[in-house]
Amino acid sequence: MTNTKESGLTLVLGGTGKTGRRVVERLEALDVSVRMGSRSAAPAFDWEDEATWAPVLRDVDAVYLVYYPDLAVPAAPGAIRAFTAKAVDAGVRRIVLLSGRGEEEARECERIVQGSGLEWTVVRASWFAQNFSEDYLLDPVRAGEVVLPAADVPEPFADADDIADVAVAALTQDGHAGEVYEVTGPRALTFAEAVAEIGRAAGRDIAYVPVGAADYAGALREHGLPDDVVDLLIYLFTTVLDGRNSRPADGVRRALGREPKDFADYARETAASGIWTA
């Protein structure tokens, strides 16, 4: 495939996030000129401040499009439509959208990008393995007890490294335009099984405790989480985690010609870093 890294700046939105920072690292290793899209970058980017969008799009050829907090929130379609229009006006050629697997609300955002006239690729993923090590599940794992309203439904946890690899291929190579890649792990595990794998890798006893959605929401609010964040988490646990995503997909294989990373490999590598030490 033809590499397009010499053709201009690549804007990475969410450049400090789980997938964004990995995309940045990979692009820089390929000597691609990268512009970080985040509130802390210069120029700064803020989804809630449309005045910050045009400056970060200046001289940009390709965009890794990540919407915060999630494409499932009501504000997402309007923001994606407005941002994509500005990208077209700025002369952007290629766009790679990180979408939510199994999220009907995210499909509207996909259709907006697909109808923009830009060269597009969609990367769909759902639950990240790295939620256990780089997000809200890290502290419970360290504490030895993970309490979640997750039903006994298997999920093929996607590895953020795989997502980044697919995104970078789509950003820098020809041959991915018009593709929808669903990125998952090679096998599905319940949350209880995932926690057990982490415990084995870390050499620790880590309990998994199922809880009702209402009780979980109440506990989150008691800890000070805002209602919109609580509502999003409950939606992900009760609606998206209903079995619709249980079957592993072939996105990594189709995009990269290799198998995706297994959750056990993620657990072993992460445990070796010491991050799960109590």
- pLDDT of residue 1 exceeding 50: no
Token readout for 171 is 């950003």
**What's the CA gap between 93 and 98, in Å, rounded?**
17
- What 3-state DSSP class applies to 137? coil
With CA atoms as reference, report the closest residue to 141 among 278, 1, 2. Answer: 278
What is the overall mean pLDDT for the chain? 95
Q: What's the confidence (pLDDT) of residue 77? A: 97
Average pLDDT score over residue span 8-23: 96
Q: At what angle do helices 104-114 and 76-90 cross, to 10 degrees?
A: 20
- What 3-state DSSP class applies to 200? helix
pLDDT digits (tens, 9 = 90+) for 118-165: 999 999 999 999 999 999 999 999 999 999 999 899 999 999 999 999
Q: What angle do CA 183, 187, 192 make, to 5 degrees?
A: 110
Domain ranges (residues) in the chain: 5-126+160-183+247-261
- Count of other CB atoms within 10 angstroms of residue 75: 13
What is the DSSP pairing of strand 34-37 with strand 94-100? unpaired
Q: What's the confidence (pLDDT) of residue 2? A: 40
CATH T-level assignment (fold) for domain 5-126+160-183+247-261 = Rossmann fold (3.40.50)
pLDDT digits (tens, 9 = 90+) for 91-114: 999 999 999 999 999 999 999 999
